[in-house]
Amino acid sequence: MSIVIDSPLDMHLHLRDGDMLKVVAPLSATYFSGAIIMPNLIPPVTTKDEVISYKQRIIEASKDNSFNPYMTLFFKPTYSREFLSEVKDKISAIKLYPAGVTTNSDGGVTGFNIDELEDTLNSMSEFNIPLSIHGETNGFVMDREAEFASIYEMLASNFPNLKIIMEHITTRESVALLDRYENLYATITLHHLLITLDDVAGGMLQPHLFCKPIAKRPEDREALREVAFSGHPKVMFGSDSAPHPQDRKEASFCSAGVFTAPIALQLLTELFLENSNLDNLQKFISTNAQNIYDIEVPKKRVILEERDFIIPNRYGTVVPIYAGEQIKYSIKEIVC
């Protein structure tokens, strides 16, 4: 049986830069029609010229694939209305990182004072620029996302015309917020649909499953699965595929990030066939994102088939999730 996915989208993707960009960009551009690109480079993407330049480097690295990188800025509370008016047609969102919560986020927000954020967020509302948020505090690691829920509520209440994307949600509490506030949406990763903290650290430590936000409890994973498999219109796939060289993962200072981009479609197909239906897979991986972000996407049809596929041990210097293991589905054909 062939399974067809039209114009798949990855609404939260890390492509890095330089040599790493050249390795990983084609692995997404081959299979996806487009992706929301994270701006947390070193230094982060904060100007119009940097957005334009980074997009061009991504397009060049993607080679001849039909792929649209939807660009973002690294949030600064000092962005003026004039600046946002000038840059709004070059970006699809602005990404807010609390300072120090994840990779390359040291320049992020150090407090959520309404007075400091108000001008920028009101201008974003006016220009219909979504606010994408890594929603964690600096508290105890298992509680960080749940603790951030009150900040989501504060922002959603004070800026009702601002579209807010809760990125890579991992908890039951975050799922519950979706139906509580009209302007809250969410991305969900593949790996948080697959694993719990027990898979990361319950036996031998698995560095290639270590990520931020960290995988949570089985009941949290069940809540994520339920909302994703149901076709809920406010959730969409965002891989948070985050490549690091093998020597940065298999180390005492293990970097946070799970690399899933080249095998995400195969594993999502397997998950949805086991738990839901193909109509909801199409919603999760494309239709909902198009509606939420109001974007047009390049036409691309990915055809999968039930045929065993062995995940490579590495892509360049990057080890993917489940490296060397056999999965049930393969890419049969890509039609652009």
Residue 106 has pLDDT above 90, yes or no: no
* pLDDT for residue 307: 97
Residue type, 13: L
**pLDDT tens digits, residue range 137-156?**
999 999 999 999 999 999 99
Listed in sequence order, the residues at least 6 apart from 308 whose beta carbon sits closer than 8 Å to its beta carbon are 326, 327, 328, 330
Spell out the domains of the chain, with CATH numbers in brackets.
Answer: 8-302 (3.20.20.140)
Beta strands in the chain (DSSP E): 2-6, 9-13, 34-37, 68-70, 72-74, 93-96, 131-133, 164-166, 184-188, 235-237, 301-310, 326-335
- If phi over 0 gives left and psi between -120 and 50 gives alpha, with beta otherwise, what is residue 322? left
What average pLDDT score do residues 216-244 get? 98
Residue pair 313/25 in contact (Cβ under 8 Å)? The answer is: no
Which of 19, 119, 240, 294 does the annotation list as catalytic?
A: 240
User: Whole-number mean pLDDT of the chain?
Assistant: 96
Q: Is the pTM of this model over 0.85?
A: yes
Q: Identify the CA nearest to 131 among candidates 81, 174, 97.
A: 97
Strand, helix or coil at 109? strand
Distance set, CA 9 to CA 30, 87, 195, 329 (Å): 12, 23, 22, 19
Strand, helix or coil at 188? strand
Concerning whether 10 is annotated as a catalytic residue, the answer is no
Distance set, CA 178 to CA 45, 193, 227 (Å): 29, 17, 10
CA–CA dist 115, 34 (Å, integer)? 35
How far separated are the first and last CA of the chain, in Å rounded? 21
If residue 199 lies in a helix (H) or strand (E), which one and from where to where? Answer: helix 197-201
251 DSSP assignment:
S
Cα angle value 181/125/234 (rounded, 5°): 35
**pLDDT tens digits, residue range 155-208?**
999 999 999 999 999 999 999 999 999 999 999 999 999 999 999 999 999 999
CB atoms within 10 A of CB 273: 17
Residue 99 has pLDDT above 90, yes or no: no
Residue 276 has pLDDT above 90, yes or no: no
Residue pair 128/163 in contact (Cβ under 8 Å)? The answer is: yes
Q: Identify the CA nearest to 47 among candidates 8, 91, 3.
A: 91
What average pLDDT score do residues 325-331 get? 98
**Confidence label for 103 from pLDDT (cuts 50, 70 and 90):** confident
